[in-house]
Amino acid sequence: MSVKVAINGYGTIGKRIADAVASQDDMEVIGVTKTRPTYEAKMAILRGYPFYAASEESVGRFKDKGIEVQGTLDDLLEQADIVVDGTPKKMGYKETYEKAGVKAIWQGGEKHELTGLSFNAQANYDEALGADYVRVVSCNTTGLIRTLYPLHKEFGVKFVMAVMIRRGADPWDTKRGPINAVEPVLKVPSHHGPDVQTVMPYLNIQTTAVKVPTTIMHLHSLMVRLKREVSTDDVLNVWEDSPRILFVEGEEGIKSTAQIMEMAKDMCRNRTDLYEIAVWRDGTHVVGDSLYYYQAIHQESDVVPENVDAIRAMMEIEKDNMKSMKKTDLALGIEC
């Protein structure tokens, strides 16, 4: 069976999910939508995706620019088994998807309450089996869960304190900032801790966040109290065996997010994306009863494999999360 996937909102996340879906042998992209005739619309067509206008009103905009559309979102949804919503947050498409009778996946900009089911492939794949509506949690939340869930499973976690050092904007985005300031989130916890708890409700976590003038990655600084005594090597071994974590080392010249993304370019993946969470091996230390580590998140791509796994779970074409993740990762060129 090839699952028919529609992508509503072909932007930063939507275009990456389209490519990831197209790379799998058990699902296909039957169409993508946009509201405006930007360069991304032309690129979608160049990549061979059937192109649709997001609404009746936007059809004319595309026609005026000589961009051919196959129809509107409603036409696309008629043929789809599932739609991945890559539109900006709070666009309010739930009723449209319900009316069309298609399953739907939203992204981390939405609130948990929209679907009542927030997703991470490692932590709660089973909950999404056969589900109609799922939210894949944000890039930061995905990053936190990727390293914390294996620690919880293997050692038990008493308490987590995580500081999120967040990129000011995506690299293409010239409208957001700051460009010359450091901006703390004054509310504690920042939204990240409660968001992790939508997937791991049992985790005792506090988070704070600071926005900084960089566009390429987020960085997290974490302190974790584990339920039993462990060594640094014990922790590294657990992560070594966990999916979608990539070790980097200061000793090998990776001292910042800049070198991580340079390495990602050298890996020659689609769009030079880094789907894994980069953890500094030589920045990981157990001191007394606490574990300290740093990790970096490629915000535009870490959620992409999770969307592919969410499709498999919701369509019940693979019941085993590890098998789904392995299949996704092989197709995306992530080392398994």
Contacts of 323 (CB under 8 A, 6+ apart): none
What tokens appear for 35 in the block?
């509201």
CB of 250 to ligand NAD, least distance (A): 25
d(CA 287, CA 304): 34
Binding characters for ligand NAD, 101-120, by CB under 6 A (x = yes) = ------xxxx----------
Nearer to ligand NAD, 92 or 201 (CB): 92
Among 139, 148, 157, 274, the active-site one is 139
For ligand NAD, which residue of 3, 7, 10, 245 counts as binding (CB under 6 A)?
Answer: 10
CB of 107 to ligand NAD, least distance (A): 3
For ligand NAD, which residue of 37, 83, 84, 86 counts as binding (CB under 6 A)?
Answer: 86
CB of 12 to ligand NAD, least distance (A): 3
d(CA 123, CA 133): 17
Q: Compute CA 2 distance to the chain's CA centroid, rounded to the nearest angstrom.
A: 23
d(CA 145, CA 134): 17
Task: Name residues contacting ligand NAD, limited to 295-324 (CB under 6 A).
Answer: 299-300, 303
Asked whether the beta carbons of 141 and 135 are under 8 A apart, the reply is no
Instruction: Please list the residues that pair with 248 across neighbouring strands.
Output: 280
For ligand NAD, which residue of 12, 122, 124, 190 counts as binding (CB under 6 A)?
Answer: 12
Residue 109: which region, alpha, beta or left (left: phi > 0; alpha: psi -120 to 50)? alpha
Strand 3-8, strand 82-85: pairing: parallel
CB of 35 to ligand NAD, least distance (A): 4
14 counts as binding ligand NAD under rule CB under 6 A: yes
d(CA 327, CA 238): 21
Q: Is 139 a catalytic residue?
A: yes
Task: Name residues contacting ligand NAD, limited to 208-267 (CB under 6 A).
Answer: none
89 counts as binding ligand NAD under rule CB under 6 A: yes
141 counts as binding ligand NAD under rule CB under 6 A: no
Could you tell me how many residues of this chain bind ligand NAD (CB under 6 A)?
Answer: 28
170 counts as binding ligand NAD under rule CB under 6 A: yes
Asked whether the beta carbons of 137 and 297 are under 8 A apart, the reply is no
CA pseudo-torsion sign 208, 214, 215, 219: negative
Q: Which sequence positions are flagged as catalytic?
A: 139
Interface residue list for ligand NAD (CB under 6 A): 8-14, 33-36, 40, 54, 86-89, 91, 107-110, 138-139, 170, 299-300, 303
